[in-house]
Structure 1
Amino acid sequence: MFSSFMITFREGLEAFLIVGIILAYLVQTRRTELNKYVYSGTGLAIVGSLIAAVVFNLLAIQFEGRNEELFEGLVMLIAAVILTSMIIWMARENNNISSTIKEQVEGKKAYGLFALAFLSVLREGIETVLFLGAAAMNTETNAVLYGGVAGLSVSIVVAYLVFRYSSHTDLNNFFKITSIFLILFAAGLAAHGVHELQEAGVVPIIVEHVWDINHVIDERGTFGSIMKSLLGYNGNPSLIEVLTYVGYYIAVGIGLRVPGRREKVAITA
């Protein structure tokens, strides 16, 4: 439940902040007559996200046996890649997110603003569907649903408070803290995705169990189940799973150290 809460809280807040920045910029530039295009683009994106959720669930229930393991493994790996790319992008942009969105708004007319709002919110919505779908494969569906609704509700309140008290809000620290959790969650997704592909016979096992500590923390017990849903805990991982888990952190570390577009421009200027 906590993992789904954090996912929808983070994704929802990003979507609401993007729309809020667009609307705020239209107010500043006295172009509020274009607000309706932003609202309609946002509304259509929400509908599109709900359709994507239905399609994802319909696809998920179609698979059984080896195909189900293959589907789940691929979904987890794709979710881990997208989630990580989002975290790295946010870390590179840092203080420039607001200015980046304003640059995109400049010069855009009605349908351009509609498309910007639609694509921005739809991207967050599709990501949320994918991340929640991957999370649901490690825990109960009801817990994921309740956590997701709670996270989305809280994100609406926080987004409102951010714009009302923006001068006293430090979003950078918030995104840094949530990024740490999401990196841990994505690492677990990557390792568990490999586990599912091994079950499907796509990835070789090599060494089946590097260690077995289920007698200490049973992955099927209460605490172990929580750790599994949050961090992808496995009490008896294979060698490839361990290498994937460690390799993921190395890859993220490298990705976070590579300078973003703005830093590169500043260096060469």
Structure 2
Amino acid sequence: MLASVLIGFREALEAALIIGIILAYLIKTKKEKYNNVVYMGITVAIIASIITAILFNVLAGGFEGRAEEIFEGIAMFLAAGILTYMIIWMSKQRNIASDLRQKVSKQLDNGQRYGLFFLSFITVFREGVETVLFLGAAKIVGESENNLVGALIGIMFAVFIGYLMFVGSKHIKIKKFFSVTSLLLMLFAAGLLAHGVHEFQEASIIPIVQEHVWDINPAINTDGSYPLLHEKGVVGSLLKGLLGYNGNPNLLEVIIWMFYLIGMLAFYYKK
């Protein structure tokens, strides 16, 4: 559930920051009459995101056996790829506020209300689609039924933080915030890749090479419950959903996890 809180918070805050910059610019330039265009874009994007979530769940529930394993493997790889792109993109954004203001100014100077609508729509819808995909991946990895609740908690908190920043009553070091969350998302993406490899191995597409490099899962309790640190226990399942924790990984899963994380950390700190 913690992974879904982080995902919902990160994605919603990114959208809230961008929308906040747009609205603040409209107020500063005394063009509040265009606020409704922004609100309409947000509303349509939320509806489109909900429809996307429904379609994703219908599609995900339509597979069984090997087809389900292949679908889940593809979903893992796709989610990890988008996460990686998002982390890299954010690391390169130095003047996001000024760039956005220029885009809004250009749309308004040309009298393109639809351009402002599309900018608002695509900002929220992009984050919505990413959230749907990431939550789907987190559910597959962590097998948690509370992902929706966690995501809603994260989204509500992000909207609250975004509102405080918009009204100017609270200042947050955005760069530092995204640096911390980016590191957590790197761990999450590494876990997704490793789990994607596992799914393709289950489907006999990728060879296992060596089973169980280590096995640190505690023995199951006599009453059939799982110990806290077992990957299916309370703490273990939390770490599995958030960081891709695996108590008994095979060799290829370990290699993929380590190479991805080392490569991303080297890139990020170089930047």
Provide the TM-score with structure 2 as the length reference: 0.89
For residues 169 and 209 of structure 1, the distance between their equivalents in structure 2, rounded to whole angstroms, comes to 44
What is the aligned residue count?
258
Cα pair 2:164 2:170 within 8 Å, conserved: no
SS in 1 for 2:8: helix
SS in 1 for 2:101: helix
In terms of mean alpha carbon deviation, does 188-197 or 31-40 score higher? 31-40
Q: CA deviation at 1:3?
A: 0.6
SS in 1 for 2:146: helix
Q: Deviations over 1:194-223 (max 9, x none)?
A: 111111111111112222222384322332
Task: Give the gaps of 5 or more residues in structure 2.
Answer: 220-228
Report the counterpart of residue 195 of structure 1 in structure 2. Answer: 198
The 3 A distance-change label for structure 1 pair 223 and 141 is: closer
The 3 A distance-change label for structure 1 pair 45 and 138 is: same
For residues 242 and 165 of structure 1, the distance between their equivalents in structure 2, rounded to whole angstroms, comes to 46
Cα pair 2:2 2:238 within 8 Å, conserved: no
1:250 matched to 2:253: no
The 3 A distance-change label for structure 1 pair 167 and 12 is: closer
For residues 12 and 171 of structure 2, the distance between their equivalents in structure 1, rounded to whole angstroms, comes to 21
1:181 matched to 2:184: yes
Report the counterpart of residue 103 of structure 2 in structure 1. Answer: 104
Structure 1: which 4+ aligned runs deviate by more than 4 Å?
A: none
Report the counterpart of residue 228 of structure 1 in structure 2. Answer: 240
The 3 A distance-change label for structure 1 pair 14 and 73 is: same
One-letter amino acid of the structure 2 residue matched with residue 13 of structure 1 = L
For residues 168 and 229 of structure 1, the distance between their equivalents in structure 2, rounded to whole angstroms, comes to 31
State the Cα RMSD in Å.
1.7
One-letter amino acid of the structure 1 residue matched with residue 234 of structure 2 = T
For residues 149 and 143 of structure 2, the distance between their equivalents in structure 1, rounded to whole angstroms, comes to 10
Superposed counterparts of 1:1-269, under 5 Å: 1-93=1-93, 95-108=94-107, 109-165=112-168, 168-215=171-218, 217-256=229-268
Q: CA deviation at 1:253?
A: 3.0
Q: Deviations over 1:146-170 (max 9, x none)?
A: 1111111111111011122367332
For residues 233 and 72 of structure 1, the distance between their equivalents in structure 2, rounded to whole angstroms, comes to 17
For residues 128 and 202 of structure 1, the distance between their equivalents in structure 2, rounded to whole angstroms, comes to 28
In terms of mean alpha carbon deviation, does 52-61 or 28-37 score higher? 28-37
One-letter amino acid of the structure 1 residue matched with residue 5 of structure 2 = F
For residues 170 and 57 of structure 2, the distance between their equivalents in structure 1, rounded to whole angstroms, comes to 42
